[in-house]
Amino acid sequence: MFDMSLRTAEGLDKYFKDNGTVKGPLHGLPISLKDQFHVEGYDTTMGYVGWIGTYEGDKDIVKVNKINSQIVKELLSLGAVLYCKTSLPQTLLLGETVNNVIGTTLNPANQLLSCGGSSGGTDIGGSVRIPAGFCGTYSIKPTHDRLSYRDVANTNPGQDTYASSVGVMGTTIDAVKLVMTSILSTQPWIRDPAVISMPWNGDMKKSTLARALPDGSANKKLPLKLGVFWTDGVVGPQPPIKRGLRIVLDVLKSMGHKVVDWNPPLQNNAKRTHPTVRTTSTSSSNSLVNLKCLLFGKASSCVTQFPCSNTRI
């Protein structure tokens, strides 16, 4: 993609020379793309050897190297220079970056360590957060459908039970904010009805920042209140992560902010509920009765054979 990036940069220089202004808020900013995003003229392999020279495995010449993902179009319209695609693990769902097309990607700061995974650009279980944590950068995983997933390759299209989000990584918090606000300024929901039609809320940002003084200490009238999620009841953070969290929380408390432990419903309940609901939903006329049994724990209402519980959804 280096040849395309050079052409794009030359075009942006000409645009500035001819118009005396930038094309958009990302004018000239180099941006890499996770190898899920389609860029016209280039393969999207997503780590699959079988996808080389195809469109997600399809050899239809109308599609192969002919499509831009919506977010690619938006970034180009904002003046970004798309200069490369980053590697990712085959099938995406992995905390490291290794595949049979490129090989293994290592940590840029220490080649003896992993860079994390599944690279940066989309996130379902940590794919922009894990690499940021491993490599000392910044990232944001927005709510699902905050940014467009239109014409983006995925490992399991149509799976929306736990859907992934298009996210942003950068070397500074300001860079992450700039890209996020710039994309939202294009109103992506006009082109993709799945996107939530919500502009960037600058007022909410200001009101949140106002709860801390310039030195970071609490505004005594309305300090920040932060919830800490220590464990889901199944797994918890490793000791170094716990230690880091406690250091941060101790500093926040010393500056007057409020910190509370957040204890949502246990994941054990969800794990037990899911297969039971699935079993219930396949039981023709008794489905509603069985679901009431599951939700409200009334054993006398149960028709099919499964244990009642007091789980709430």
So what's the pLDDT on residue 157?
81
Locate the DSSP E strands across 49-184: 81-86, 98-99, 103-104, 122-123, 138-140, 165-166, 168-170
Tell me what percent of the residues of the chain surpass a pLDDT of 70. 87
| Catalytic residue of the set 69, 87, 127, 148 | 127
The kind and range of the H/E element at 276 are helix 267-281
Angle in degrees, CA 93, 200, 12, rounded to 5:
80
Across the chain, how many H-helices and E-strands are there? 8, 10
pLDDT tops 50 at residue 275 = yes
Judge whether 287 counts as a catalytic residue: no
pLDDT tops 90 at residue 270 = no
Judge whether 253 counts as a catalytic residue: no
> Burial level of 259, CB count in 10 A (0-12/13-18/19+)?
middle
Q: Are 98 and 79 in contact (CB under 8 A)?
A: no
Average pLDDT, the chain: 87
Does 1.10.3680.10 match the CATH number of domain 2-200? no
Judge whether 127 counts as a catalytic residue: yes
| Catalytic residue of the set 34, 119, 141, 164 | 34
Closest CA to 310 of 285, 292, 284: 292
| Catalytic residue of the set 69, 87, 114, 118 | 118
pLDDT in tens, 72-129: 999 999 999 999 999 999 888 888 999 999 999 999 999 999 999 887 689 988 999 9
Pairwise pLDDT comparison (310 vs 117), residue with the higher score = 117
So what's the pLDDT on residue 196?
95
Per-domain boundaries in the chain:
2-200, 206-261, 267-301
pLDDT in tens, 184-200: 999 999 999 999 999 99
**Rounded CA separation 11/3 (Å):** 12
**How many beta carbons lie within 10 A of that of residue 173, not counting itself?**
11
Instruction: Provide CB contacts within 8 A for 289, sequence distance 6+.
Output: 301, 302, 303
Provide the residue type at 286 as one letter. N
Q: Are 218 and 257 in contact (CB under 8 A)?
A: yes
pLDDT in tens, 225-236: 999 999 888 888
